[in-house]
Structure 1
Amino acid sequence: MPAFSAKAHSNHAQCYLVRRSRRTNVPSIDHTAQVKLFEIRQQLIEAYRLARSAATRISLKRALTKMGELDVQTDAMVSQPHSTGPLPAENIEKLPEACPEYWSDPISDRIYFENVYKTQPCERIPLDRLVELLLYAETCEQATYLIKRVREVYPKLGIRLALRNTTDRAGPCGRWRSVEVFTGANDEATTWLRLAAASRTKYTLVGRNMVDMTHYTDVDRMLRVMNNLSVDVVGGAIRLEPEGRWYPGCYQSTVRNFTIRLHPGHDMSAQSCAYCDYIASPFLVRRDVFQQAMSDSSMSGPIPFVQFFLGGLHNIDSNRVLTTVACVDVLFHVAGAASWRGQGLAETPKSSWLPLARKWSINRIVLPGPVDHRWTCEEAGINCANFKRAGLIVPGCCLEELANCVKGFLTLAAEHNVSTYIVDGTSLGSVKIYGGFLPWERDADIRWDARRHSTLSGSIRGQLQKRYQCELGPLEMESKYGLNFTVCSQFPNQTCVYFDLRTINNWRIHLSGVPAVASQRRWGLKSPTSVAINGFWATTLFNPGRVLRHQYGDNILGHVQHWEDFGYNSSWDPYTNVELAPFPPCPTNAIPHSCLSENYLPYGNIQFQDFQV
C-alpha cells in the first residue's frame, strides 16, 4: 500500500496550499486546519483501499465526496492542469532539476506518438550533475555492451559499475570513459550500497537487472515526477530482453498474520504513474534515501529490494517510509527468463526468501503465480514463547503445534470410543474465528468421560507420544472422592479427574474428566453438535453460541485477550462481558506486525482469515 509519513503529508500539503492560494480566490481557512483536512483525506483514501466490504467502500467514498465539496483538493496524487507560463515563484531562487513539459497536438504525431509531450525551454541543472547510474554486470562482454548503449542515450552520465568477472572469453575488460568499476562483486545488497557510497550526485539511478538502454528510459521524466509529486522513488515499466514482454511492475503488499503478500496492481495514480509498495524496475532515488533505507546484507536478487521498499512501510528494520511510483511511459530493459538475473518474485527460489522471512519473523510468503512459500516456526526462527504476551497475536505456525496435539487426542479418543467435547476458549475460537483457534490462545480445553481414565493412562498415552509427539502427564484427582464417580457426579460442574497434555514447545491442553458428558444432551436429535477447528470436526455442546454467550456475556464475537494477559486468576473472572474493549498496548520490543492494537480491530474475523490483497 502507498504509505505516507506524517511529515511527508504535512510538508506536501503546505507546499500545495501555498501554491493554490496564489491562483484562487477561495476564502482562507486556518492553515493548520487545511493541513489536517488533507491528512484526514489521505487516511480516508487509505481506508477505502483496504476496505473489503462493498458497503464500507460506499460509505468511505461518500465521505471523500464530502471532502471534495469542501474544495480540499490538496492531494498531489490528483493531477494538476498544465501551465505553459513561467516557472512557479518558489523555484526562481535556484535552477530547476528538470524543465516543465506540456501536452501538444497528438494528431500531428498520430502514427508513433513519440513527441506529443514537449519540454518547455528553461535553464536547469545539468543532468550529469544530478544523476549517476549504478550498474551490475556478470562479464566484461555484458558490461561493454551495456555501457555502449547507455552512452548512445546519455553521453555524459556518470556510471558506477559492479563487475563479477574481470575477464572472459571476449577478452579482458577495456577502459570505459567516466565509469568507475568495482570488481569481484556479487549482485547483493552490499554491492549496491558500495556503489551508492562512491557516488557524488544527489540522485542515483539504481540499474538493477538492467541489460540495455533506449531513450525510453527517460531520466528527465523521472526527475520531473520526483519533484512534481514529491515522492521518494520513481521507477517505470519493464521490458524483458530479449523476449520483449512488457510488464507494469507495480505491486501492493500486506503483512498480516505472519504472512507477506505481494500482488500486482495499484489503486492510486497520478500523472500516468502508479503508486506502488514494490516495483520490479530499476529506479531513480535520492542517494541519501537509498543509503538510509537499503539494509546492508548478503541478500541477493530481488530480495534486498523487497526489504528496501517494504521495510519502512511495515516498520521492519527501517523507519524510512518510502513513497514510490512507477510511470508506465518510462521503460526499462531488464534481463529476461534466459538469465538468472531475470528471476522475478515468483521465480526466485524459496531458499532465497528465507533470510527475509527470518528477518521479519514471518513463516509464509505469498507471491503472484500463485506461489505460496511456507516454513515451520523453527525454520523461520520464530520463538513461540515471545508471542504469548498481552497485546500480541500468536503466529499460525505456533498454533499448528497446539492444533496437532488437540486433533491427535480427539482422534485417538474416537478410535478408543472415549467421548470428548471441546469447551471454553477452544470452543469460543471455533465460533468466533469460524473454525480456528483464537489468535491469542494460550491453551486448549477438552472434557472427556472420566470413567475411561484407564484407557487414557494406557494405550492413548503411548500413541500420543508415538504418533503426535505429545506428552500426557499423570492422572490427577480433582475431588476428594477420587475415582468414586457416582458421588463425584452429584456435584454440578465437577471435574473428577484431570490430565495435563503438553506439546514439544510446552503448549498446555487441559483434559478434564467429567462424570456426565454434557455434549450427549441432544434434545431428541440423532447426532451431537460438532464444530470445525483447524480442519477437524470436534464435538461440542449442542448450541455452542448460546453456551458461550451465557458463559462469557456480550459480546462474544468481539475480541478480548486471554484472562492470563490481564492478570486474572481464571476465566471465571467477569472481564469479558463488554460490548467493545480495546486490545492491550503493544510491548515495546515486539515485532510491529504482531501487535494487535496497531494492526487489528477488536471485532470481526475476516482480518484473521486467509485472503488475497
Structure 2
Amino acid sequence: MLRYDLKRKIFLCCVLTGVTVMIVIGYRFHHYRKDPDNNHWSNNRMSNDDLSTKLPGHTDFDNLTYKGTKEKIKILAKIIHRAKKHVRGSKTSDYLREATLIMNNILTDMKVDSAKLYERQSTKSKHICPEVFKGGSFGFPMYYEGFVVEKCENAAPLSKLVTVIKYINGKSKSIDVLSKEVDRFILSVNNVVKNLTIFIAINTEPTSENLTSKYPQEVQIVQSKFRSEGTGINTLVKEVQTPYVFMARHTEILTSDSRLERLIHEIESLNVVAAGGAFRDENGHWRKGCYQSMYRNYTLKYIEGYDESFHECLFCDFIQGPFVARTEYLKANALLDNNETSGLYEDFFLKISQSGQESVICPDSMFHVNANKTANSDVDWKPFVKKWNLHTIHTPQGQTFTQSCNTQITGSRPSQALSPCALQLINSAIKNIMSTCEKTGVICELLGGTILGVVKLGKALPWEYDYDANFLATNCTKCKQLEAALYNAGFKFRNFATSCCKRKLKEKDTIFSGGSYKGKYGDLHGRAVLDSDLLIKDGLSPTKIILDGQWVNVPRNPGLSVRNRYGKEIYRHAEHWRFSGGEHADKMMDYTADTFLPCKHPGYHDCLDRFNTDGDLSFVEMLP
C-alpha cells in the first residue's frame, strides 16, 4: 500500500469527515428541529406520522464542531469500521475494507491504537454478578457448566429485578384448557425462581372467577376481552414495579436453561434495550431467532442472522422469541394496538433499531415455546405498512431462495473459503450420517466444530476441515447395524462395532472412528451418554437444529454447549485450528477469534479476509 505522508492523510480524512457530516446533518437538522427532546430510553423524538425518513442516530453531530481534528478522525474511523461490519454488498465491502486500512494507517501515525478504538465497551452489571470461564474441559462431557458466577456485593434477587408478562389468546379454548395452560406456566416459573411477579392477560370471554382468584398474590390475571395483544400488554406494563420485564412470548414453560439473570446482566453490561434467548419448540426444533432488517426504498426486509457479537451474544434488529426488556423503555414506548400477526413486535424492535439503540440475543439462554403463528393475509399488515410508509415487506417468516451448487470442489486450505460444492458435500455427509442413524434406530448428535458451525451459520463452516458426530455406543447389535448402514450409504469408516461390542463404556470414554465420504474426512465418536437419550428418557423430544434444511439432533442446549466448549467470543470467527492454532500442545484451544489469516492470493473471490470476522450474513446471503 502506498505510504502517504501524514499531512496528505489528514487532508483526505478531513475531506471524508466533511462529506460525512454534511450528508448526515442534513437529516438530523430536520430531525432535531421537529423534536429537540433527546430522552435516552424514549422514542418520543420520532414522529409517528411518517417514520420512513428518520436516520438512526449514533453520533452527536451538534457537538462535533467543537472537537479537534484528531477526535474527528477517531470518530470517522469508528463510523467507517462500523459500516464495514454491517455492509454486505461485495463492492461496497471491498471499498470500505480499503478505507479501513488507510484509516488504520492514519491512526498509527497519530499513535492511536485502532483495535482499542474499535472495540465495543461494556460496563459492570448493576445487579448481576459476573461470570468467569473455567476452560473447555471444565464441563466435560455434557457441558452443562463452563462459566461460573463469581461472588459480588451488588447481587440482587431476580424477584426484585424482573416481572413476567404473558399474553394468551384464549378465544378458541375452554376454561379447563386455559386453566391447565396457566397452571403449567406458573408452576414452571415458581420452580425456577421463587416469588416472581407474574402478570397474565387472557383474551377471551369473561374468565371464571376460579381462574383469576386461585393463585397467590404475586400472580395477577387480567381478562382482556376484545382487546389486541399490544393493548393487553400495555395495560400490564403500567403496573410493573421492577426495572425489567420478561416478555414470555409463546413461552410454555420456564426451565433452568432460561437463564433470565444472564439476559439482565447483558442488558446492563452492553447498555441495550432488550435481550432475548434462543428457543426450542414442542418438537425440539431449536433456533437463535436473531434477524437483521433492511429498511429502504419503501421496502422492509428481514434476514435471519447477525453481523456482530459480544460477550457471546448477538446484536439483532429483531428478536423472534421471548426476551427481557427495560421497563422504563416499555412504559415510554407503548406497543401498537395490534396482534403479533399484524406486526406488533416488528414495530417494537424497528423503533429500537431506527432510534440508534440496540437489542441482543444470548443463545445459551433457551426457552420452551409453542410454534409461532403467521399472518393470515396481507390485510393483517395494513396498519403497520401505513405507519412505516412501506410498499413491500418481507417478514421474518418469509420465503428463502437458495442457489444451486457449482461444479468446483476444493479442499480445506488456510485463508480461503471452501467452494459451495465442497461445502455442500460436507453438509450432505453430515445429513447422511444423521439420516442413517435415524433409520437404524441409533441415537446420534452433532459434535464439536460441526455444532459450532450449525449454531452460527445453519451449516458447516465455510473453512471447515472435517465433520464430527457422536453416536450412542451402548448396544452391540445397533452398532453393527449402524456400521453396515454407513458403509452402504457410501461412508468408509474404520471398524467401530467391534469396540462397541467388547467395551463397556463409562461416561467419559470414547470409541473413535475416522473415515470419509466421497473424499471428505470425518470422525465418529461412540459415547455411553448423550443428551438426546436423556431427553427421551425424560419424555421429551431431543433438541434438534436445522442443518442445511434438515433437522438433526444436538446436545440439549446447543448454545450453552458450544459456549462452554470453546469459551469467549465464539460467534466471532477463526479458521480451523489446524491452520490457526498456536504453539500450545492443544491447538484446538490455542487460537485467536475475530481474525482470518492473510490471503495467500490477495484479491481472489474466495479469500476469507474479504469477509467480516463477525456475523453470519456474509456467508448466508449475498446482498446488493
Report the TM-score when normalising by structure 2. 0.48
Report the TM-score when normalising by structure 1. 0.48
